């Protein structure tokens, strides 16, 4: 009887294990099928991506990505979430479909509008040969590295790209290759086969350019439009009068050399950081920088953390405005001044640990920081200027006992603001606390 009972138990345990194994295998099969079904591929051409992954890896065997292959994902699979408050959209999350795309080794061509709007990072494969017109036009890519195998580039780039590098073997460009890259700052390209007249006609913001290859000449007249050009490196064979020509340009002195050069992520002039063209999430500003220049980091959508050396004394207008993903700033301990709009529209920042050395905060400096919750104003700051903290809709607490003057609209629209520590002699401007919970404040 006991033997039969034991056999029955063993049989039941076996059935349970078999069921669990079957379910597990079933799950694996379903997941594999689901993943495969994310891609619609016909004769090696990726026609459509239907998934919602943050990072998309293009499968091996795909030779071409067709126009609008990611179009259906841009709206329906956008995972950014906003709360709507008082006519303001508040960013809550930053995850969305196809933020990063990695090409497989078999991809040879990207057709027009192959890469979608939301893509911030694109890893191009060795083996890619053609970038068609508008291939990257809709993307949000700031920094792009081209593969050595690239043979032809059309009017491919987006208006947001700041830095393009590539050690190509031999690549052909058209007169419109950079026509849409109006924000291009740094161009490092080897293997250039030709330079058509007007190639740089719309690249007015280029500061550094390194071009080597078999091309015959650069039209010196094209350089006149590059008012911000600081350095140009070209093939030795075409030097001719180019060096002398650049010296005679009225806009500035341009360094000319004949070797391929890799420029850094920072352009620094007289201890002033003029420009950043990197692609890092954590940015450490080089030691020795005293001034962070106007709009030096404006619109940088990848940066999450900024670290300043203690040499920094001044931050100029709009230096860090609209840095969507910025969550942390380590300030210089010797910082004296923050310029107008320096940190406005930074929707992810919850707190700024302002240094004790700070004396001046400019107009609209922290305006529309929707996630900002608390503010401690350093003792040396005596004035909160026009709209400095306007529309910081989640700001709840401000300590500013040393402040003697609060200008118009300084905290206007901060609807959760209730706790404010003020100097008894403070002068408060009109509408300084309009649409807040702060009560009993007289205006002058």
Is residue 90 predicted with pLDDT exceeding 50? no
Q: Which of 320, 336, 343, 341 is nearest to 386 (CA)?
A: 341
Query: According to the model, what pLDDT value does residue 22 have?
Result: 45
Bridge partners, 314 (sequence order): 291, 337
Burial of 16 (0-12, 13-18, 19+ CB in 10 A): exposed
Length of the chain: 444
44 confidence band (pLDDT: 50, 70, 90): very high
Calculate the dihedral angle through the C-alpha atoms of 98, 100, 102, 103, rounding to the nearest 10 degrees.
60
Query: According to the model, what pLDDT value does residue 319 have?
Result: 98
- Extended beta strands in 156-222, E state: 163-173, 186-192, 208-213
Cα dist from 165 to 9, 23, 147, 275, 405, whole Å: 68, 50, 9, 17, 50
Q: What is the mean pLDDT of the chain?
A: 86
Query: According to the model, what pLDDT value does residue 24 have?
Result: 44
- Average pLDDT of the residues in 82-88: 44
Query: According to the model, what pLDDT value does residue 63 have?
Result: 98
- Average pLDDT of the residues in 135-146: 95
317 contacts: CB under 8 Å, gap ≥ 6: 294, 295, 339, 340, 341, 342, 362
Looking at residue 198, the DSSP 8-state letter turns out to be T
Q: What strands, in cross-sheet order, belong to the sheet with 55-57?
A: 55-57, 100-102, 121-123
For 92-101, 128-137, 178-187, 252-261, which range has the lowest pLDDT when averaged over its residues? 92-101
Asked if 185 and 275 touch (Cβ cutoff 8 Å), the reply is yes
Cα-based angle 169, 149, 145 (whole degrees, multiple of 5)? 95
197-245 tens-digit pLDDT: 889 989 999 999 999 898 888 877 778 888 899 998 887 766 556 777 7
Residue 83 or residue 34, greater confidence:
83
Asked if 390 and 369 touch (Cβ cutoff 8 Å), the reply is no
12 confidence band (pLDDT: 50, 70, 90): low
Pairing of strands 109-110, 64-65: parallel
The Cα–Cα gap between 315 and 343 comes to 10
- Residue 237, classed as helix, strand or coil, is helix
What class does CATH assign to 157-263? alpha beta
The Cα–Cα gap between 281 and 36 comes to 31
Query: According to the model, what pLDDT value does residue 20 have?
Result: 46
144-187 tens-digit pLDDT: 999 999 999 999 999 999 999 999 999 999 999 999 999 999 99
Query: According to the model, what pLDDT value does residue 14 have?
Result: 53
Q: What strands, in cross-sheet order, belong to the sheet with 305-307?
A: 282-284, 305-307, 328-330
Query: According to the model, what pLDDT value does residue 76 have?
Result: 39
Is residue 136 predicted with pLDDT exceeding 60? yes
Phi, psi at residue 337, to the nearest 5°?
Answer: -135, 135
241 contacts: CB under 8 Å, gap ≥ 6: 220
* Residue 29 half-sphere exposure toward CB, CA atoms < 13 A: 6
Query: According to the model, what pLDDT value does residue 277 have?
Result: 96
Is residue 122 predicted with pLDDT exceeding 80? yes
Query: According to the model, what pLDDT value does residue 73 have?
Result: 64
- Average pLDDT of the residues in 374-381: 96
Query: According to the model, what pLDDT value does residue 253 have?
Result: 76
> What does pTM read for this prediction?
0.84
Pairing of strands 272-276, 266-269: antiparallel
- Rounded to a whole number of angstroms, the CA Rg of the chain reads 28
32 contacts: CB under 8 Å, gap ≥ 6: none
Residue 139 or residue 24, greater confidence:
139
Q: Which of 40, 39, 20, 38 is nearest to 28 (CA)?
A: 20
The Cα–Cα gap between 424 and 273 comes to 40
The Cα–Cα gap between 319 and 312 comes to 13
250 confidence band (pLDDT: 50, 70, 90): low
Query: According to the model, what pLDDT value does residue 400 have?
Result: 95
Looking at residue 74, the DSSP 8-state letter turns out to be H
Token code pair at residue 23: 């379910």
286-343 tens-digit pLDDT: 999 999 999 999 999 899 999 999 999 999 999 999 998 999 999 999 999 999 999 9
435 contacts: CB under 8 Å, gap ≥ 6: 86, 412, 413, 414, 415
Token code pair at residue 195: 């330079």
Is residue 17 predicted with pLDDT exceeding 80? no
The ranges assigned to domains in the chain are 40-141, 157-263
Asked if 223 and 204 touch (Cβ cutoff 8 Å), the reply is no
CA 278 centroid distance within chain: 9
Query: According to the model, what pLDDT value does residue 52 have?
Result: 86
Region for 102 from its dihedrals, namely left if φ exceeds 0, alpha if ψ lies in -120 to 50, beta otherwise:
beta
């Amino acid at each position: 009887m006991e033997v039969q009972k034991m056999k029955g138990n063993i049989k039941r345990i076996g059935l349970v294990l078999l069921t669990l194994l079957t379910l597990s295998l079933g799950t694996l099969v379903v997941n594999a099928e689901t993943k495969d079904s994310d891609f619609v591929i016909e004769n090696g051409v990726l026609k459509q991506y239907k998934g919602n992954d943050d990072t998309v890896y293009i499968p091996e065997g795909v030779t071409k990505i067709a126009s609008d292959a990611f179009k259906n994902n841009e709206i329906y699979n956008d995972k950014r979430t906003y709360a709507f408050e008082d006519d303001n959209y508040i960013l809550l999350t930053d995850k969305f479909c196809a933020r990063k795309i990695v090409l497989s080794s078999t991809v040879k061509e990207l057709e027009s509008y192959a890469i979608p709007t939301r893509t911030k990072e694109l890893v191009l494969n060795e083996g890619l040969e053609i970038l068609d017109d508008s291939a990257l036009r809709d993307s949000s890519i700031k920094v792009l590295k081209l593969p050595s195998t690239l043979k032809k580039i059309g009017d491919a780039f987006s208006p947001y790209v700041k830095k393009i590098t590539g050690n190509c073997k031999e690549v052909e460009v058209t007169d419109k290759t950079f026509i849409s890259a109006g924000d291009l700052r740094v161009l490092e390209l080897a293997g250039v086969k030709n330079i058509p007249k007007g190639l740089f006609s719309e690249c007015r913001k280029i500061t550094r350019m390194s071009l080597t290859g078999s091309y015959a000449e650069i039209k010196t007249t094209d350089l006149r439009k590059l008012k911000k050009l600081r350095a140009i490196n070209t093939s030795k064979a075409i030097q001719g009068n180019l060096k002398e020509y650049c010296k005679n340009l009225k806009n500035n002195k341009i360094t000319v050399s004949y070797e391929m050069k890799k420029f850094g992520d920072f352009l620094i002039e007289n201890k002033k950081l003029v420009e950043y063209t990197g692609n890092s999430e954590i940015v450490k500003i080089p030691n020795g920088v005293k001034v962070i220049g106007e709009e030096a980091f404006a619109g940088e959508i990848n940066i999450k953390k900024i670290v300043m050396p203690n040499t920094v004394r001044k931050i100029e207008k709009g230096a860090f405005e609209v840095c969507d993903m910025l969550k942390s700033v380590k300030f210089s301990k010797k910082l004296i001044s923050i310029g107008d709009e320096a940190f406005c529209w930074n929707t992810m920042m919850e707190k700024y640990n302002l240094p004790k050395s700070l004396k001046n905060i400019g107009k609209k400096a922290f305006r529309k920081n929707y996630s900002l919750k608390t503010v401690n104003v350093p003792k040396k700051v005596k004035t909160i200027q026009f709209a400095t903290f306007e529309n910081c809709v989640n700001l709840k607490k401000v300590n500013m006992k040393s402040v003697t003057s609060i200008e118009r609209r300084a905290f206007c629209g901060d609807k959760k603001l209730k706790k404010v520590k003020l100097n008894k002699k403070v002068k408060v401007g009109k509408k300084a606390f309009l649409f807040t919970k702060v009560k009993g404040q007289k205006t002058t």
